């Protein structure tokens, strides 16, 4: 079984993924892989805030917890997926990423991260 760092490294080998982070629910980065120019601490804090907002929405609408969210920007996208109750996987993509494939890979690797953490 791969450890957390190996899983994040594998994610950043997927075409279109620039960075992959495992973030604790407190907003602090546990592990990361990818582009060193990205401020991973800022991304971690912002992703936790965003997923928290979506979880409140799910509760208010009585539709369950947020399992995966995605925000698309002009030159990138950011995805986040809950990893158990203690962590979140955050992904930063490049401009021409295949978001469908990345969403599939995030789902797949999320299961591996749950068993490795």
What pLDDT does 1 receive?
Answer: 60
What's the half-sphere exposure (Cβ side, CA atoms, 13 Å) at 111?
Answer: 5
Q: Is residue 51 a contact partner of residue 88, using CB atoms and an 8 Å limit?
A: yes
- DSSP one-letter code for 111: H
Measured CA to CA, the distance from residue 7 to residue 26 in angstroms comes to 21
What is the per-residue pLDDT for 58?
95
Encode pLDDT of 9-53 as tens digits.
999 999 999 999 999 999 999 999 998 899 999 999 999 999 999
Q: Is the pLDDT of residue 66 over 80?
A: yes
* pTM to 2 decimal places: 0.92
**pLDDT the model gives residue 115:** 82
* pLDDT tens sequence across 79-103: 999 998 899 999 999 998 999 999 9
Q: What pLDDT does residue 75 have?
A: 93
CB 48 within 8 A of CB 54: no
Domains and CATH numbers, the chain: 4-116 (3.30.450.30)
């Amino acid at each position: 079984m791969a450890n957390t760092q190996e899983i994040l490294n594998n994610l950043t080998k997927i075409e279109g993924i620039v960075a992959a982070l495992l973030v604790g629910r407190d907003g602090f980065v546990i592990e990361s892989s990818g582009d060193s120019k990205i401020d991973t601490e800022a991304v971690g804090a912002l992703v936790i805030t965003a997923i928290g907002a979506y979880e409140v929405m799910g509760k208010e609408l009585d539709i369950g917890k947020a399992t995966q969210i995605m925000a698309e920007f002009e030159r990138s996208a950011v995805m986040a997926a809950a990893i158990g109750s203690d962590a979140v996987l955050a992904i930063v993509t490049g401009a021409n990423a295949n978001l469908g494939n990345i969403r599939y890979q995030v789902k797949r690797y999320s299961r591996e991260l749950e068993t490795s953490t």
